[in-house]
């Protein structure tokens, strides 16, 4: 008891001598003097005091509070034992630092998280586009903050949009998924930690992603339209478009990417395509959809031409 008390006063005195960088720190010899050699129970918290101007202790309000038993041990669970740093706090980095002064490389930082988070969504991290682009877990997550990412979407979306400027622009186009409105979020479709298929979608294929919300487009249809079963993105953009219904092109142009005009006069523009004198039925509507109203397939017995 008495020893403990005296040590504390000694520490305080020493501490007062070493106010630096906003952090109050105590020289390790205080511990040695006390015959205490287990540096693992290191005094991270003695120096990184609640009063410091960097809000380190706010981590106590997060789910990570009780890691490895809590207190100092929780610090080492992410930052490593950090023997060097304990001995020379102003000149040696902790084993794993996320900066600002001694940021470890991206993979080292992520590895400290992966030691506990290697399952669930994070299983795809290694090899993912984000990992290869040198992002690390803390590019998106804020560990010392009481609320990490708002998983309802809008906040995590801002994190994404900081880097993905082009997508940010797409979200404002006239036709769009209601992403900016918060009804669908980036993470409804993407797993930011990686994925098995293209574009880090939760599903293996793009169509399966669309079907997860637009089930009725899965069919089966009596009369299929082959490109629909193949790839929705042959006609649609996922984030936003200047054309209605997220389409990549409007009106006949959309269909004429694949359908030549030969079989029925479907070229509405250009003088050579105009029938002389009488009006051609197929041109009146201009938009193929006026007649072929079932572009995704038809279940009508006579819907072979996707007209009903």
Of the two residues 172 and 305, which places its CB atom closer to ligand HEC in the complex? 305
Interface with ligand HEC includes 243 (CB under 6 A)? no
Q: How far is the CB of 276 from ligand HEC (least distance, A)?
A: 18
| β-bridge pairing 23-24 and 19-20 | antiparallel
Contact set for ligand HEC, span 282-301 (CB under 6 A): 282, 284-285, 288-292, 295-296
Interface with ligand HEC includes 114 (CB under 6 A)? yes
Of the two residues 1 and 94, which places its CB atom closer to ligand HEC in the complex? 94
Binding-residue total with ligand HEC (CB under 6 A): 140
Interface with ligand HEC includes 234 (CB under 6 A)? yes
- DSSP annotation string for 19-31: EETTEE---THHH
Burial class of residue 202 (count of CB atoms within 10 Å of its CB; 0-12, 13-18, 19+): middle
Interface with ligand HEC includes 169 (CB under 6 A)? no
Give the phi and the psi of residue 201 in degrees, each rounded to 5. -75, 155
Q: How far is the CB of 8 from ligand HEC (least distance, A)?
A: 15
Of 6-14, 29-37, 247-255, 271-279, the window that binds ligand HEC (rule: CB under 6 A) is 247-255
Burial class of residue 109 (count of CB atoms within 10 Å of its CB; 0-12, 13-18, 19+): buried
- DSSP annotation string for 72-109: HHHHHHHH---HHHHH-TTTS--SS--SSSSPPPHHHH
3-state secondary structure (DSSP) of residue 199: helix
**Helix, strand, coil percentages for the chain (3-state, nearest 5):** 45, 5, 50
Q: Which of 49, 84, 124, 187 binds ligand HEC (CB under 6 A)?
A: 187
Q: How far apart are CA 307 and CA 70, in angstroms?
A: 67
Contact set for ligand HEC, span 15-34 (CB under 6 A): 20-21, 23, 25-26
Q: Which of 10, 14, 117, 124 binds ligand HEC (CB under 6 A)?
A: 117
Torsional class of 120: left (φ above 0), alpha (ψ -120 to 50), beta (otherwise):
left
Q: How far is the CB of 303 from ligand HEC (least distance, A)?
A: 9
CA 26 from centroid of its chain's CA atoms: 40
Give the C-alpha distances (Å, rounded to integers) separating 201 from 4, 9, 38, 189, 229.
Answer: 56, 57, 47, 6, 18
Contact criterion met (CB below 8 Å) for 172 and 180: yes
Q: Which of 11, 31, 106, 157 binds ligand HEC (CB under 6 A)?
A: 157
Contact criterion met (CB below 8 Å) for 210 and 218: no
Of the two residues 7 and 190, which places its CB atom closer to ligand HEC in the complex? 190
Interface with ligand HEC includes 279 (CB under 6 A)? no
Q: How far is the CB of 242 from ligand HEC (least distance, A)?
A: 11
Of 5-13, 29-37, 116-124, 269-277, the window that binds ligand HEC (rule: CB under 6 A) is 116-124
Contact set for ligand HEC, span 44-103 (CB under 6 A): 44-48, 54, 56, 59, 63-64, 67-68, 74-79, 82, 85-86, 89-90, 93-94, 97-103
Contact set for ligand HEC, span 195-224 (CB under 6 A): 198-201, 206-207, 209-210, 212-214, 217
Interface with ligand HEC includes 274 (CB under 6 A)? no
Interface with ligand HEC includes 106 (CB under 6 A)? no
């Amino acid at each position: 008891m008495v020893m403990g008390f005296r040590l504390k006063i000694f520490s305080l005195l020493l501490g007062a001598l070493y106010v630096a960088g906003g952090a109050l720190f105590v020289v390790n010899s205080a511990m040695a003097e006390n015959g205490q050699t287990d540096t693992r129970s290191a005094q991270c918290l003695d120096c990184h005091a609640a009063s410091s101007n960097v809000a380190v202790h706010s981590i106590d309000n997060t789910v990570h509070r009780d890691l490895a038993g809590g207190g100092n041990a929780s610090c080492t669970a992410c930052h490593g034992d950090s023997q060097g740093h304990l001995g020379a706090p102003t000149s040696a980095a902790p084993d794993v630092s996320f900066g600002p002064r001694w940021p470890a490389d991206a993979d080292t930082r992520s590895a400290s998280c992966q030691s506990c988070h290697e399952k669930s969504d994070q299983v795809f991290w290694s090899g993912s586009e984000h990992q290869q682009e040198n992002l690390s877990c803390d590019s998106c997550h804020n560990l010392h903050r009481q609320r990490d990412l708002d998983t309802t979407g809008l906040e995590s979306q801002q994190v994404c949009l900081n880097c993905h400027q082009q997508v940010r622009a797409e979200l404002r186009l006239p036709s769009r998924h209601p992403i900016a409105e918060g009804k669908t979020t980036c993470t409804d479709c993407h797993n930011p930690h990686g994925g098995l298929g293209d574009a880090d979608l939760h599903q293996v294929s793009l169509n399966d992603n669309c079907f997860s919300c637009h089930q009725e487009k899965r069919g089966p249809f009596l009369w299929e339209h082959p490109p629909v079963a193949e790839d929705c993105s042959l006609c649609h953009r996922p984030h936003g478009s200047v054309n209605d219904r997220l389409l990549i092109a409007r009106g006949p142009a959309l269909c004429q990417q694949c359908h030549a005009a030969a079989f029925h006069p479907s070229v509405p523009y250009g003088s050579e395509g105009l029938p002389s004198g009488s009006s051609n039925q197929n041109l009146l509507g201009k938009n193929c959809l006026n007649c072929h109203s079932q572009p995704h397939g038809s279940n009508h017995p006579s819907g072979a031409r996707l007209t009903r």
